[in-house]
Structure 1
């Protein structure tokens, strides 16, 4: 192919994709946004999405950014009977990274200012295995709500399992698998995730081996030590 024609086609494809990227977003006032239980001002879901299912049970706060190819779903299939009115609740100013999945059946709730890296998976249900003659996929497990507190960060590729509660301003390291309770102002990591560091008032951020990092105030790059 002639280099000039190839360059022209390339420019056209990229320009078309940028147009689709803008037009395809789910934003307030679009028909797709109207199908959600609530969809806050200045929020958006990137194009293309992966799966948006039973959106009437999904509530999104204001200023939320949801990346591309993200799954937001409630229930096991479209129009699943008996889905909760508020199955997936995302607070204000949250960021959900590309290719993440939030799959709710009873309740997944994110507070305000919760940030996800890419490829994070959160689910409030799993599968049973006790019946040896029934395929695992047909053995639905218990529904155990998941809650992530305001201001928390969940790193790239983390998995949040059913029944997990993560406190406020907590950090989940990349690639972690989390089950159970993570307290406020803690850093956890690993598979399964374990405590790495916690805030002790008047002392600082104390590690498992007793090492202490100082408390710093302010935005990244403009911090001032205060402990």
Structure 2
């Protein structure tokens, strides 16, 4: 054994390059700040559309940067106050630079949220109603490949196209697929990973591949099967945003006291006014 070096079992301390670490932290901050600037500057709005010229784009709507594939924008109509996440693909027509006629092909209502990485492919009419929320990586298409001719590659055969309609107020879960010809009613929940085709009634929950109705609400019978968890308790009338922010700082004991003090709508504000936690009054 070589005894010239450090004693057996003794670890040689690694040299610490403090200056290099400091430079790395500075570079990291610069990269993060630069990326935040790029996200702000690269986002698309009606006031700052960049190269995109949508047929219509409502007030408050924003496409996050980095953008996904977008073409056929003259035939895409976006409502007001929509949030289009990063890498969302929006297309009208089979390919860019086609003349698709006088009517819009893709219509998105007001207050729609399209989650990161989602695709909406409108080779024929696709309509998304107002106040629909999409999770990430949802795929909506009005076109499907055909395979009628067994002697031709599927990709070379003319596709089938059918309009798609998604009613207002729907929630489309992560990774769901909406196929050509789907007609989804209002206030429908599409479970994550579901594959939807055909017609879905109003106020339904669908899941599976192909998707089927697993729960539905009607005025006569309510939810069938019954919900397994109670409905969330609404915020009492009169509670201000400042009070809600203060509630986020409450400990469990104070939150329990608040729950005991809770009353029907209209009395919440006066009850909150008398609540004290840790020596300070609630706002």
CA offsets 1:136-159 (integer angstroms, 9 cap, x no match): 112122210000000011000000
Q: How many aligned residue pairs are there? A: 218
Alpha-carbon contact 1:28-1:34 (below 8 Å) kept: no
Alpha-carbon contact 1:26-1:33 (below 8 Å) kept: no
Alpha-carbon contact 2:54-2:74 (below 8 Å) kept: yes
Runs of at least 5 residues in structure 1 that lack an aligned partner in the other structure: none
- The TM-score with structure 2 as length reference comes to 0.73
Q: CA deviation at 1:133?
A: 2.4
> Residue 46 of structure 2 is aligned with which of 14, 28, 34?
28
Distance change in 2, residues 1:181/1:63 (3 Å): same
Alignment pair present for 1:213 and 2:227: yes
Alpha-carbon contact 2:75-2:100 (below 8 Å) kept: no
2:151 corresponds to: 133
Q: CA deviation at 1:213?
A: 2.7
Q: CA deviation at 1:203?
A: 2.7
Map 1:80-91 onto structure 2 (within 5 A).
80-82=98-100, 85-91=103-109
The runs of 4+ residues in structure 1 deviating greater than 2 Å are 31-34, 80-85, 213-217
Q: CA deviation at 1:216?
A: 7.6
State the secondary structure of the residue aligned to 1:197: strand
State the secondary structure of the residue aligned to 1:32: coil
Q: CA deviation at 1:34?
A: 5.9
RMSD between aligned residues: 2.0
Alpha-carbon contact 2:72-2:97 (below 8 Å) kept: yes
Distance change in 2, residues 1:16/1:221 (3 Å): farther
* Larger helix percent: 2
* Larger strand percent: 1
Q: Distance in 1 between matches of 2:166 and 2:62?
A: 20
Between 1:73-82 and 1:86-95, the stretch displaced more is: 73-82
State the secondary structure of the residue aligned to 1:92: coil
Between 1:132-141 and 1:66-75, the stretch displaced more is: 132-141
1:58 corresponds to: 76
Alpha-carbon contact 1:28-1:40 (below 8 Å) kept: yes
2:90 corresponds to: 72
Between 1:44-53 and 1:72-81, the stretch displaced more is: 72-81
Alignment pair present for 1:222 and 2:234: yes
Map 1:3-22 onto structure 2 (within 5 A).
3-22=21-40
Alpha-carbon contact 2:132-2:170 (below 8 Å) kept: yes
Runs of at least 5 residues in structure 2 that lack an aligned partner in the other structure: 1-16, 237-283
2:11 corresponds to: none
